[in-house]
Amino acid sequence: MNNVDRIIRLKTVLARTGLSRSTLYRKIADGTFPAQIRISVHGAGWRESSVNRWIADPVGYREGQAGSHVR
């Protein structure tokens, strides 16, 4: 079994969660969705494991369980 935590991009996150882009970023600001992590100067993505945790419990998810912030 592969335990590598992949980085997934915005299009994949939106498809997997069913959220709109604006709702996704509002939830990040509220701390109710995992924050992005920087992967390059102009690129960012999400840890797949963090998104999976949110999918498993979208109502109970709170940032701070894991993840870095892009600021």
Hey, where are the domains in the chain? Answer: 7-56
What pLDDT does residue 69 have?
43
Size of the chain, expressed as the number of residues it contains: 71
Contact call for residues 58 and 18 (beta carbons, < 8 A): no
Detail the DSSP E strand segments found in the chain.
7-8, 37-38, 44-47
pLDDT tens by residue, 11-58: 999 999 999 999 999 999 999 999 999 999 999 999 999 999 999 999
pLDDT-based confidence at residue 4 (cuts at 50, 70, 90): confident
Contact call for residues 69 and 27 (beta carbons, < 8 A): no
Strand, helix or coil at 18?
Answer: coil
DSSP-H helix ranges across 2-64 = 10-17, 21-30, 48-56
